[in-house]
């Protein structure tokens, strides 16, 4: 595991972008990049947009999202689809065949699709205040592949504002599983702010347990963590 502690959010975003660029440029073949959503990676997508528009990241990269809410119009605020369109896809010229959207209708064939692409090269992860990664909530089984997950009250509270209130957060989401994440060649874990400090401490230095989904990442052979100093303050 490599941990990079940055002074602030902007530096976290830049460091993360550099890591992704380095990892994706290392091979001259089709590469896959799993996209997290939320407040954490917004600055990263600005950096990646600039790298794509300068031709640093080329047309061998296939992008896909790693989770999505169920039972909601995907053009609505709060959804992962809308977030990625607004913060990434609208600003870059990526043809539809290189932008794959996970949703409740296609999740059953997602693992097959990823396998056919040669698996995941890099997956970007934020972390929930309760330790969720993608939308694998506490007590999600470590051996799960892409599946539907009931959301915890903590996660609904954390993301309520994006939907105009906690009660408007859909009850379930589709998510790549813990096993899907552990099968990725590289994992980038990002966190910013002291609200994430406890989750980061438990994830990186605590017991490996399904109660804290991110703790399994300690066993990943290529885990790269980029956190700002507030999120790192308990390490
Ligand atoms: P955030 O969400 O980036 O908005 O903090 C991360 C998450 O809940 O996984």
Residue to substitute in 80, 125, 128, 196 for testing ligand 1 pocket (most ligand atoms within 8 angstroms of CB): 128
Give the number of other Cβ atoms within 10 Å of residue 204's Cβ.
22
Q: What is the DSSP string of 101-158?
A: ---TTTGGGHHHHHHHTTS-SEEEE---TT--BTTB-TT--TT--SEEEEPPHHHHHH
Measured between its terminal Cα atoms, the distance across the chain in Å is 14
User: Per residue of the chain (235 residues), what is the pLDDT tens digit?
Assistant: 999 999 999 999 999 999 999 988 766 688 999 999 999 999 999 999 999 999 998 889 999 999 999 999 999 999 999 999 999 999 999 999 999 999 999 999 999 999 999 999 999 999 999 999 999 999 999 999 999 999 999 999 999 999 999 999 999 999 999 999 999 999 999 999 999 999 999 999 999 999 999 999 999 999 999 999 999 999 9
Tell me the torsion sign for CA atoms 152, 157, 163, 167: positive
In order of 10, 91, 187, 188, the CA distances from 23 in angstroms are: 20, 22, 10, 10
Q: Kindly give the number of the ligand 1 atom that is closest to the alpha carbon of 162.
A: 4
117 near 32, Cβ under 8 Å?
yes
pTM value surpassing 0.85: yes
Return the bridge partners of 149, or none. Answer: 173
Distance 53 CA to ligand 1 centre (A): 26
Which of 39, 129, 136 best tests ligand 1's pocket when mutated (most atoms within 8 Å of CB)? 39
pLDDT of the residue at 25: 79
Phi then psi for residue 222, to 5 deg, are: -130, 65
d(CA 28, ligand 1 centre) in Å: 32
- In whole angstroms, give the CA distance from residue 156 to residue 171: 8
Residue from 160, 190, 177, 137 nearest 20 by CA: 190
Distance from the alpha carbon of residue 78 to the mean position of ligand 1, in angstroms: 12
Would you give the DSSP letter of residue 98?
G
Ligand 1 surroundings by CB, under 6 angstroms: 38-40, 126-128, 132, 158
Q: Are 222 and 230 in contact (CB under 8 A)?
A: no
Residue 129 Cα to ligand 1 middle (Å): 8
Report the catalytic residues.
67, 130, 132, 137
Cite the beta strand spans of the chain per DSSP E. Answer: 2-6, 31-35, 61-65, 67-69, 99-100, 122-125, 147-150, 172-175, 186-191, 223-228
């Amino acid at each position: 595991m490599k941990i990079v502690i940055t002074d602030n959010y902007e530096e976290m975003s830049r460091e993360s972008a550099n890591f992704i660029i380095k990892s994706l440029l290392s091979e001259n073949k089709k590469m896959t990049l799993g996209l997290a959503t939320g407040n954490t990676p917004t600055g990263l997508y600005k950096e990646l947009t600039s790298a794509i528009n300068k031709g640093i990241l080329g047309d061998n990269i296939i992008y896909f999202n790693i989770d999505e809410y169920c039972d909601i119009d995907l053009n609505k605020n709060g959804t992962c689809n809308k977030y990625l369109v607004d913060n990434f896809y609208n600003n870059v010229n990526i043809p539809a065949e290189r932008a794959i959207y996970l949703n409740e209708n296609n999740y059953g064939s997602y693992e097959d699709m990823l396998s056919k692409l040669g698996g995941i090269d890099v997956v970007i992860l934020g972390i929930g205040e309760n330790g969720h990664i993608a939308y694998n909530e506490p007590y999600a089984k470590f051996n799960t592949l892409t599946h539907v997950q009931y959301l915890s009250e903590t996660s609904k509270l954390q993301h309520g504002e994006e939907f105009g209130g906690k009660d408007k957060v859909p009850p379930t989401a589709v998510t790549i599983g813990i096993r899907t994440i552990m099968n990725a060649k590289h994992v980038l874990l990002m966190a910013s702010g002291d609200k994430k400090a406890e989750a980061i401490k438990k994830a990186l230095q605590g017991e490996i347990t399904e109660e804290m989904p991110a703790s399994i990442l300690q066993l990943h052979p290529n885990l790269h963590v980029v956190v700002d100093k507030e999120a790192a303050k308990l390490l």
